[in-house]
Structure formats: C-alpha cells, structure tokens
A = this chain, B = another copy of it.
C-alpha cells in the first residue's frame, strides 16, 4: 500500500466523504448524533453511516460495513466500543480511507485492555499509513466545511469562520463547551488530539504552519510526544503566525494529574518553559486567555512596537489597567505635542495617556462625534503602536452609533486596536461585540484581557522582527 503524504492532515478537516461508525439508534445513538450534527452544520460531503443493526438513519442508507460502500471514502469517524475499533480501522485502511477520528474512550487512559487496543491502533497506523486522531477525543470541527465529529447535542448550527486554530488535549474546550457563536470567536478549526496514538501536536502544528487561513494557533498542551519534532514544528509556526500555548502541569500537583488524564507522562516543567520561550511561542496562563487572546491576531495588523494608548470611560478603570499593560510588556505611549494639542482642543483636560472619556462625554453635545475624534487623534499619533479602547454600551440604542463610529474610523486602522465593552445587559454587549468583530475589531468584555491581548501582540511582533532580522 503506497504511503500517503503524512504531513497533510487535510482529510481530517475537509474530507469529501465520511463513514460514521457508531450506534444509529434514533435520538440516543452516538453515530446517530454524529450524522445529525454533520447535517445540522451543512456538511456537503457524502456521509456513509455504518452499522450492522440498521439499514437506514435520518432518511439515509446505512451500510453494514465500510466495504459495502462502492464509492471511495476519505475519512471515518469511529465511536464504537474499544474492542471493535482496531478491526474497523483496519477495514478503513483497506478501503483506502485516509483519516480516522476515534472518538471512543477507554483506551490507554483507562489502562488494562484499553492500552492493548490503543497499541493495536498505533500498529495499524504505522503499517498502513492511515492517519488517526484520538482515541479519547471529541475530534475536529471546521466551520468552513461544516465537518465535525461531535456526537453531543449542539444547539447552534453555524460558527463564525475566522483565523484562529484551537488545538487541545481535552474535549471540554470544544464546540459544546463555549458560546462560540454568541461571542463570535473567529474559528478556523477546533481540534482535540486526545490520546495521540498517531497524529500528535507536532503533526497539527506542521499542518497549521502551512494553512494560510490560520492566522494564529492556540494550543493546549499536556506533553510533547517528540521534543525535537515539536521544536521544529513550533518554530515553523512562529515564523509565520503566533503560537499561544496553555500548558498544564506547571505545579507539581498539576504534573501528577496529567499522567492519569491521557495516559502520557508529563515532561519536566522547566524544560517546557524553556522550550516555549526558545521557539518564540507565548505562554497563556488561563483558559480565558486561551479563548480570547487570539482574537487580536485574527484581523489586526501586528503592532510595530509596544507603546500603548489606553482610552477609558473612567480614570479609575484606566489606572488599574495600566498595571496590567505594564505587566504584559507594554509601555504607556507618550503622545506627540501635536496630538496633545489636538486632544486638548477637543477637551481641555485631555492630552495625557490614559485618555479618560468620562468627563468629556458627559458634557459633549454630540458625544459620539467627540468619542470618534478622540480615538482618531490617538490612532494617528506617531508615538502610538497600539490602542486599547473601553467603550460604554449600556443599552440597545447605542449599538448603532458605536458601529458607525468604528465604520468611520476604519481608514485609520493601521494601528492594532483592541476594544473593551461594558454595560448592563449581556445580550447588548454580545450583539455589539459581534458587530465589531464582524468589522475586524477584536472585542472583549473584560478590559484587562483586551490589554493583555495587545501585550501578546506586541511580544509576538518583537519575536517576528527578531526572526526577520536574523
């Protein structure tokens, strides 16, 4: 059997056809759930449900085995009991399937026979060249093709397409775990690599490095299966796009827990920390950062330096946020004399950084015009590399004006900007967030997170400049 190009994971994310192995019992069967989810998200490839117990599911023909399918099959999703999985994957390999995602649990992470079945899978992958993601994974999701391998109930039927590839070793940050659509996360791909019996973090990084639609990679890492390959792959990513890593096991207790989670040994924490730094990746320190920091890389230019302007609705908020900025490696921009003059002309007490909108907006005849003029002056200052702007959106009626403000500011958007929204209704804030994100503006509901994201952007920018000069 000819070996396929092993670095090409395309068949996992945009297969033209997929076989689904799993219970097709209506309502509760996990195979049924898969088929339903694929249709719900408008997957346009051919779907071949496979089950010995059914001849039909949701109006589609079901097959008793993959060999019964006469057309070629590119990918397979398997969610059947562990003892049945090796034979299914062997049959898939024989059929010429390129990519198998094994969602079933109870392999190496459960020990006992599970470990044995996982070794059999490793062996099949090695022998036949078929690629495997999993087992013990919720697999992948590609909003562009509607291809997903999630057997659980998903209440939305589309997710915003964007440039961030999220890759994890846990399913609980997947499609079902986060208000992805309501919060308008710009998703290129979601991928849970599970127990990594074949495809591992290095494979995914190599693939994403070459995927021109991926603008940033957020990776949750428990361990790297092959240190050298990981370093090479991470470097390949960092040369082209930011690589943001959340790594468990920083504390000793965390390291211990990792061992039992995916059945793989934890590495030495200091070594990982050094490697992450050495390759130019950036370490995230919370799940909030994992989800939200990459927003800033989706549609914004990289800042040319680390000088930040902070525009706030309140002086008090601004002050504590400066501490966050400094802690994130930013420095407060000092406005040019021209900008200071321009700001003072707009309002006597302006001119410094942070820029406090509060007093001026409370007296302005046309606060939206004033707000726009102030942001414009700041964005145009030669001493400013990036801008964090905190905007009040208390109620519905303001959405329109704020959208207009940023529409007319578009032409000044050569600087990196991150927007923070605050107000009293979640739905209003989320609607405004979606409208601004649709305009290419990274938007946050937490000011500290917005500022931190600019810090990450500036740090990556510095790393890229260093790489390009060397």
Contacts of A331 in B (CB 8 A): 253
Q: Which residues of chain A from 296 to 317 have a CB within 8 Å of any chain B CB? A: 312-317
Contact call A220/B170, Cβ cutoff below 8 A = no
Contacts of A169 in B (CB 8 A): 316
Q: Could you tell me the distance between the alpha carbons of A332 and B256 in the complex, rounded to whole angstroms?
A: 11
CB A436 to nearest CB in B, in angstroms, measures 17
Does A250 sit within 8 A of B, measured CB to CB? yes
CB A379 to nearest CB in B, in angstroms, measures 20
Contact call B349/A110, Cβ cutoff below 8 A = yes
Contacts of A394 in B (CB 8 A): 152-153, 155, 176
Contact call B222/A287, Cβ cutoff below 8 A = no
Does A83 sit within 8 A of B, measured CB to CB? no
CB A428 to nearest CB in B, in angstroms, measures 8
Q: Could you tell me the distance between the alpha carbons of A326 and B256 in the complex, rounded to whole angstroms?
A: 13
Map CB proximity to B onto A164-179 as digits: 1 under 8 Å, 0 otherwise. Answer: 0000111111011111
Interface residue count for A (Cβ, 8 Å)?
83
In the complex with contacts A316-B170, A319-B261, A395-B153, A424-B327 CB distance below 8 A:
no
Does A105 sit within 8 A of B, measured CB to CB? yes
Contact call B182/A426, Cβ cutoff below 8 A = yes
Q: Could you tell me the distance between the alpha carbons of A427 and B324 in the complex, rounded to whole angstroms?
A: 30
CB A193 to nearest CB in B, in angstroms, measures 10
Contact of A172 among B155, B246, B422, B425 (CB under 8 A): B422
Contact of A254 among B180, B314, B326, B447 (CB under 8 A): B326
Does A260 sit within 8 A of B, measured CB to CB? yes
Does A183 sit within 8 A of B, measured CB to CB? yes
Could you say which of A179, A253, A326 has the most chain B C-beta atoms within 10 Å of its C-beta? A253
Q: Which residues of chain A from 231 to 263 have a CB within 8 Å of any chain B CB? A: 246-254, 257-258, 260-262
In the complex with contacts A222-B316, A248-B316, A392-B177 CB distance below 8 A:
yes
Contact call A182/B359, Cβ cutoff below 8 A = no
**Which of A58-66, A70-78, A350-358 interfaces with chain B?**
A350-358
Does A437 sit within 8 A of B, measured CB to CB? no
